[in-house]
Amino acid sequence: MQEKLNIAVFVDYDNIEIGVKSTLRREFDVALALDALKERGDIVAKFAYANWSRQELATRQMAENAIQMVQRVPSPRGDKNGADINLALDALEMAFTHDHVNAFAIISGDSDFIPLVNKLKEYGKTVFVVGGKAFTSTILQQNCHEFISYESFLDDRRGSRRSEDRPIIRGEVLQLQQGSAQGVAPVVLAGAAAAGSPPQQERPRDDRDRGPRQRAAPLDLALAMPLVERALQVLERRAVQPQLGLLKSTMLQLDSAFGERAYGCSSFSEFVERLKKSDFINVSGTGGRYIIERKSSPAIEMPKPEEAIPLLRDVCELHRLEIEDGASADELLEWMKAENPEFDPARYGFQQFAEFLNFAQDKTVVRVEPDAERGLTVFLGAEFYPPAAPTRQEEPVMSEYDEKQPIVPGQPSIFEPTPPPAPEPKIAKRPRTTRKRTNQDNMGNTAPPSRATTKKRPATTRKKPQG
């Protein structure tokens, strides 16, 4: 029986908020992420990290969802990763001190959390990552247990943000300022204007500011078949019947970024039914106990995501001057289609062009900076700025004047054309050796040998004869 998951949620609000705004043109709604996590287990703790003094409208949303707000006060020198470090430390502390918490959900798209994800997995914790496919690092998507895309929460209905639906009138602005000054949540009366206050003219909007975008078109089912067939092969090698739940868990093990909503399906059973209708797989069984089998027909070869990278690289080389100063994602997409009229991100497995740019950023082809006002801004990646080769030190050329000339006494050289005569060599005296005198030398001498040269013989006792 599968263990019940007790999930602790950690929200990097600054990252997820600007990511959703810049790529999806929507306001971040934490309730959507929490509803998706409730389908996977019980949420036992919720924390959100941000400088809440600048996020007054978001504090009400956090309070409505009972999320504990951790205040981040940046230092005078600025601490860009201060919230990331606090979040990582609190998550590790909870992993060590709360044994009943066996799952962690990180709502962010920052690749700085990859070490945290790996450490939590090392301690046997299940890790979910919630973020947008267009701004979450692909490395982070592939290294968690399951990646839940924020795009899958969205529907085809357009949002109803007040600032986008109708112009703001002066009476509402005054009421908003008074409410915020008194510390009360601002309440806007629709259609109520101050007496004699003419309506404010609607500010001009460009093509990038037309309200929230609709949900992207679903991907072709053929793009999911390589992963489905690979998962079925794994289950066949394990001698396990491939049922619905087992098939999905195996697919998530092979690719944690898989989601059936990307293919226009609200559930995994609907995803399997559509595969069956498209004649990609064989399904048998009734009553929810489906057994899936792969067909013997050859799989359809679809282009891989890496095959779109050379097309982007050529366009970046062609428009290098424009991209160096920063170009919008929409401009880059127009250049891509002008050079390759048949280019479509969906053919390579991307629902949006922003997802493809996020993939290319991890390949160091481009660098993407999200901006809440301008949207995604694209710059040239590190691939176009390779590190300079180390300067090679040239070996000095030696001349005849630089070489050390051998000096022979008495012989001319370039430094001394007329050298003094060489001094006469000194005759080395042969050292006198003393020879040791022997007994034969002493025989011819009349003088007795000295006591130092004579050796005393040991005294012997003569034995008397017996009898």
What is the SS3 string spanning the chain? CCCCCEEEEEEEHHHHHHHHHHHHCCCCCHHHHHHHHHCCCEEEEEEEEECHHHCHHHHHHHHHCCCEEEECCCCCCCCCCHHHHHHHHHHHHHHHHCCCCCEEEEECCCHHHHHHHHHHHHCCCEEEEEECCCCCCHHHHHHCCEEEEHHHHCCCCCCCCHHHHCCCCHHHHHHHHHHHHCCCCCCCCCCCCCCCCCCCCCCCCCCCCCCCCCCCCCCCHHHHHHHHHHHHHHHHHCCCCCCHHHHHHHHHHHCCCCCHHHHCCCCHHHHHHHHHHCCCEEEECCCCCCEEEECCCCCCCCCCHHHHHHHHHHHHHHCHHHHHCCEEHHHHHHHHHHHCCCCCHHHHCCCCHHHHHHHHHHCCCEEEEEECCCEEEEEECHHHCCCCCCCCCCCCCCCCCCCCCCCCCCCCCCCCCCCCCCCCCCCCCCCCCCCCCCHHHHHCCCCCCCCCCCCCCCCCCCCCCCC
How confident is the model at residue 11, as a pLDDT?
94
Residues 335 and 273 placed together within one structural domain of the fold: no
Residues 295 and 309 placed together within one structural domain of the fold: no
Q: State pLDDT tens for residues 332-361.
A: 999 999 999 989 998 888 888 988 999 999
Structural domain contains residue 25? yes
Q: Is the confidence at residue 178, as pLDDT, over 70?
A: no
Residues 82 and 108 placed together within one structural domain of the fold: yes
Residues 278 and 322 placed together within one structural domain of the fold: no
Structural domain contains residue 139? yes
Residues 31 and 109 placed together within one structural domain of the fold: yes
Read off the pLDDT band of 212 (50, 70, 90): very low
What CATH number is given to the structural domain containing 52?
Answer: 3.40.50.1010
Residues 24 and 111 placed together within one structural domain of the fold: yes
Residues 272 and 330 placed together within one structural domain of the fold: no
Report the predicted TM-score, pTM, of the whole model to 2 decimal places. Answer: 0.67
For residue 157, give Cα distances in angstroms to 154, 212, 252: 8, 9, 29
Q: Is the confidence at residue 202, as pLDDT, over 90?
A: no
Q: State pLDDT tens for residues 417-462.
A: 777 787 777 777 777 777 666 665 555 555 555 555 555 566 566 6
Residues 320 and 377 placed together within one structural domain of the fold: yes
Residues 378 and 264 placed together within one structural domain of the fold: no
What CATH number is given to the structural domain containing 274?
Answer: 3.30.420.610
Structural domain contains residue 263? yes
Q: State pLDDT tens for residues 11-23.
A: 999 889 988 888 8
How confident is the model at residue 447, as a pLDDT?
57
Q: State pLDDT tens for residues 226-252.
A: 888 888 888 888 888 788 888 888 888
Structural domain contains residue 47? yes
How confident is the model at residue 262, as a pLDDT?
87
Q: Is the confidence at residue 277, as pLDDT, over 60?
A: yes
Number of domains composing the chain: 3
Look up the domain containing 272 and give its range: 221-301
Residues 327 and 228 placed together within one structural domain of the fold: no
In the numeric block, the tokens 């799952």 are attached to: 103
More confident residue, 266 or 313: 313
Q: Is the confidence at residue 197, as pLDDT, over 50?
A: no
How confident is the model at residue 458, as a pLDDT?
60
Asked which of 330, 364, 382 is the last residue of a domain, the reply is: 382
Q: In angstroms, rounded to a whole number, what is the distance separating the alpha carbons of residues 280 and 228?
A: 10
Q: Is the confidence at residue 217, as pLDDT, over 50?
A: yes
Structural domain contains residue 395? no
Min mean pLDDT across 16-25, 196-205, 216-225 is at 196-205
Structural domain contains residue 412? no
Q: State pLDDT tens for residues 5-59.
A: 999 999 999 889 988 888 888 889 999 999 999 989 999 999 999 888 888 888 9
Tokens of 80: 């860009």
Residues 267 and 316 placed together within one structural domain of the fold: no
**Mean pLDDT computed over every residue of the chain:** 77
More confident residue, 79 or 170: 79
Asked which of 301, 324, 339 is the last residue of a domain, the reply is: 301
Q: Is the confidence at residue 169, as pLDDT, over 70?
A: no
